[in-house]
């Protein structure tokens, strides 16, 4: 029962954060005598600027899936025999950290063939243009997030979108198939 309470508190806090990111004047939420304000949720989820850029030890999660992100901003590598899929480039300033993590795991950053993003926010997809520039990866995005992605222009660079995805569409590389599920809320094209 205690673990279910913790899970529910986490879900409510996550939902509060999602709502707060869309409505700046959203009131605080209290769950089991703990109050979450939009700012406290943001700080808890994203950490300090140092946490957002500091490398977290890259590691295998399961099968061909690896963690290559920072302490608080996730990025995942899916390794295949025909090249790799990167999920979330995070901020542009983190691309060298992601590259270092990939290489520490024994993979080549240049083998990144597909770049996917979970949703159109800078902390998840600002680095897309730099990853494409460095690797030539094909950048794919959910249709509903295309307008928001086009507004993300670090250093004035246009946001690359090579292929527009739709709910239920498959992305395949080297014997690995991912299915894009539209889960709007946090952004219009939030993808699972």
| Domains of the chain and CATH, by start | 2-46 (no CATH), 49-179 (3.60.15.10)
Write the pLDDT tens digit of every residue in 162-172: 999 999 999 99
**Secondary structure (H, E, C), 131-157:** HHHHHCCEEEEEHHHHHHHHCCCHHHC
Alpha-carbon span 119 to 132, nearest angstrom: 17
Percentage of the chain with pLDDT > 70? 76
Residues 6+ apart with CB under 8 A from 120: 141, 145, 148, 149, 152, 187, 188, 189
Q: Residue 36: in which H helix or E strand, if any? A: strand 34-36
Q: How far is it, in rounded angstroms, from Cα 111 to Cα 122?
A: 24
pLDDT at 23: 46
Cα 49 to Cα 120: distance, rounded to the nearest angstrom: 20
Q: How far apart are CA 98 and CA 75, in angstroms?
A: 8
Region of poorest pLDDT, from 38-52, 78-92, 129-143, 144-158: 38-52
Distance CA 170, CA 150 (A): 23
Question: Residue 112 has what pLDDT?
Answer: 98
Helix extents (H) in the chain: 2-22, 38-46, 49-53, 95-104, 122-125, 128-135, 146-150
- Looking at residue 172, its pLDDT comes to 97
**pLDDT tens digits along 26-72:** 566 666 666 655 554 444 566 788 888 899 999 999 999 999 999 99
User: Tens digit of pLDDT for each residue in 97-132?
Assistant: 999 999 999 999 999 999 999 988 888 899 999 999
Instruction: Supply the pLDDT for residue 50.
Output: 87
pTM of the shown model? 0.77
């Amino acid at each position: 029962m205690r673990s279910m309470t913790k899970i529910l508190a986490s879900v409510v806090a996550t939902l509060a954060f999602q709502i707060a990111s869309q409505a700046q004047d959203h009131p605080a939420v209290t769950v089991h005598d703990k109050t979450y304000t939009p700012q406290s949720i943001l700080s808890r989820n994203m950490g300090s600027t140092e946490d957002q850029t500091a490398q977290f030890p890259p590691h295998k999660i399961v099968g061909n899936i690896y963690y290559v992100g920072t302490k608080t901003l996730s990025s995942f590598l899916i390794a295949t025999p025909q090249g790799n899929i990167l999920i979330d480039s995070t901020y542009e300033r983190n691309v060298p950290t992601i590259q270092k993590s990939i290489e520490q795991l024994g993979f080549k950053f240049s083998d990144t063939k597909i770049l996917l993003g979970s949703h159109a926010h800078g902390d998840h997809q600002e680095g897309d243009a730099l990853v494409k520039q460095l690797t030539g990866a094909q950048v794919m995005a959910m249709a509903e997030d295309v307008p928001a992605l086009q507004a993300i222009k670090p250093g004035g660079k246009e946001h690359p979108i090579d292929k527009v995805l739709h709910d239920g569409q498959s992305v395949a590389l080297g014997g690995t198939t991912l299915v894009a599920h539209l889960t709007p809320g946090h952004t219009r094209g939030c993808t699972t």
